[in-house]
Amino acid sequence: MNSFRNHALFCLVMMAGGVLHAQNGPTPYPDSKDDAAWPGRGPIRTFNWMVDNRAFFWTQRDKAQNAVVFVGDSLVGNWKGPLMSTAFPKLKVANRGIGGDVTRGVLFRFKEDVLDLNPRAVVICVGTNDLSTHAEPAVVAQNISLLLDQARDHNPAMPVVVCTVPPRANPKAPLQRANAVTELNTLIRKFPEGRKNVVVFDLFAALATPEGAPKPEYFNADLLHPAPAGYVQWGTLLAPVLASLHLESATPVTK
């Protein structure tokens, strides 16, 4: 009998420990080699800083409730607080971008890092890293479509702004074919069809030359990541789009 009691007590402690773990931190990333453990299709990336970023995001969950949440890769993650707060002075915003992330990574963390914040709106910019790993644009678009499905299931009335992928010309991150960005953006621009509360923001057009190349003044030397002027341009053109959604907060707060 004592053995049974001890075993039962051990099980209860282990169960309680699992609950406490779930409450005190984000769900750990699955093994990057276990394709079936990840939502969506295509490339998987996990780096140590991603774990650190998500641990920090977890500590900000209460503060970020009801924010306009930006999510994606380093294109979002590098949009630092002062630049973002200047761009959207009337909005409470939260940045949930992680450098190096791909669409499957965002799919995995979308609920805990974004939807659990009960956002007033979500801005998504992701996919360029998928293209760096030579993922097919149709696969990348399907993963983003799954994000839109999650957002709809969470709150059908919540606006979602999906950004096209900006131009890029980094020789250290060559694309499988030159028109991959164009192909992906063509699919992204179709997302509002048959969907309510989904808006496409053309970030490509905002940062490109007439020929479709990265506009040098808007990019760092790598011609991949926006420079401060690029974020100013992004914010200047995105602000009226967000304003049209009537998301103003009485108490502006950044990250």
3-state helix/strand/coil string of 177-204: CCCHHHHHHHHHCCCCCCCCCEEEECHH
Q: Tell me the fold of 50-243.
A: Rossmann fold (3.40.50)
What CA–CA distance (Å, rounded) separates 43 from 69? 24
Mean per-residue pLDDT pooled into runs of 10, the chain (255 residues): 41 40 83 98 98 98 97 97 93 97 98 98 98 97 98 97 97 92 98 97 98 97 98 98 81 42
Output the six-digit token pair for 87.
């761009």
- Grouping H, G, I as helix, E, B as strand and the rest as coil, residue 85 is helix
At residue 23, the pLDDT reads 66
Output the six-digit token pair for 88.
């959207």
At residue 247, the pLDDT reads 85
At residue 8, the pLDDT reads 42
Residue length, the chain?
255
Q: What is the pTM of this model?
A: 0.89
